[in-house]
Every structure is written in structure tokens, then in C-alpha cells.
Amino acid sequence: MASVERPLVPVEWIERISEILSAFPEVQEHDAWIGMAWKVRAATIAHIFGGEDQLFRITFRAEPDEVVAFEHMGAPYFRASWGGNVVGLLVDDHTDWEEVAELLTDSYCIQAPSALADQVPRPG
């Protein structure tokens, strides 16, 4: 059985995520096994990729109680099958990028050492 080609992530989406995450200390962007990923030191903050189903996903980290909430909300959110606190969002032309910025900020603060996370301005 032949494998299905995965679509390339639109450059505009990679640029949007890079713009969000580059505001935080020590974030590095790198090519992932598929798509693009961002890390703080060795910890992955976000990963965007195209699936064999031709849909695009961004995965990120969430607090344990939020993981359950994302799982119960259903599409466009999902709980990843790997990693205990990895959740995701289907990305398309209607994605709310302000919401993505909030989710990625939270993911950074979860993954970054506290000395770096403490440098991130938080609302409230």
C-alpha cells in the first residue's frame, strides 16, 4: 500500500507562529520529522504539520486539567496520542490566531525553565 503524501504547511502559518514564539527567550525553530517545530532548550513548545488526511495540525502543551477540557471540546481541538500533556488544534483558513498566540504562550510557560517563563508577561 502506497503512503499518502502529507501537504506542506503554508509558509504564512509558519511565519505567524514564529512571530508569536520569537518574542520569548531562547526559542529555536527547526525542521521536524514533518512540518516545523519550536523548542525552548530541549523542550518542544509547538509543532505544526500536515497529516495524511490533508488536514493541518498544531500541537502544544497544556496543563493537565486543560488537557481534559480540550479533549471534551472536540473539533477543532484534540488530545494527541503521544505525551501526557500534548493537545492540538486543527489549523485552517478560519483559525483564530489570537487564540493560538494564547495557547502557545501557555505552552512556552509550561515547557520553559521557570527563570525563562517568569520573563513572559501574563495577562491579569
pLDDT at 124 > cutoff 60 = no
- Which strands make up the sheet holding 56-61, listed edge to edge? 27-31, 36-40, 43-50, 56-61, 86-91, 77-79
Cα–Cα distance between 39 and 59 in angstroms, integer? 12
Query: For residue 84, how far is the Cα from the chain centroid?
Result: 15
- pLDDT, residue 59, reads 97
The CATH architecture to which 11-116 belongs is Alpha-Beta Complex (3.90)
- pLDDT, residue 22, reads 95
Mean pLDDT of 11-39: 96
- pLDDT, residue 47, reads 97
User: Of 56, 42, 47, 55, which Cα lies nearest the Cα of 21?
Assistant: 47
Coil, strand, or helix at residue 117? helix
- pLDDT, residue 3, reads 74
